[in-house]
Amino acid sequence: MNFADLDVKTLIPQKPPFIMIDRLVHFDEVVTRTEFEIVPANIFVEGGKLLEAGLVENIAQTCAARLGYINAIILKDAVRVGFIGAVKSLVIHKLPDVHSTLETTIEVVNEVFNITLVNATTRCNGDVLVTCEMKISVV
At 4, the pLDDT band (50, 70, 90 cuts) reads: confident
| Domain coordinates in residue numbering, the chain | 3-138
* Per-residue model confidence (pLDDT) at position 46: 98
Q: Which of 46, 50, 37, 67 is nearest to 134 (CA)?
A: 67
CB within 8 Å of 65: residues ≥ 6 apart: 8, 11, 12, 21, 24, 32, 34
CA–CA distance, 27 with 34 (Å, rounded to integer)? 9
pLDDT band at 99 (very low <50, low <70, confident <90, very high): very high
| pLDDT score of 120 more than 80 | yes
Q: pLDDT tens digits, residue range 48-65?
A: 999 999 999 999 999 999
For position 32, what pLDDT does the model report? Answer: 98
Architecture of domain 3-138: Roll (3.10)
36 near 20, Cβ under 8 Å?
Answer: yes
Residues in the chain: 139
pLDDT digits (tens, 9 = 90+) for 5-60: 899 999 999 999 999 999 999 999 999 999 999 999 999 999 999 999 999 999 99
Query: What DSSP string runs through 83-107?
Result: EEEEEEEEEE--PPBTT-EEEEEEE
Show the DSSP H helices in the chain as ranges: 52-68
pLDDT (tens digit per residue) in 63-80: 999 999 999 999 999 999
- Of 54, 72, 69, 64, whose CA–CA distance to 129 is shortest? 54
**Considering the entire predicted model, what is its pTM?**
0.97
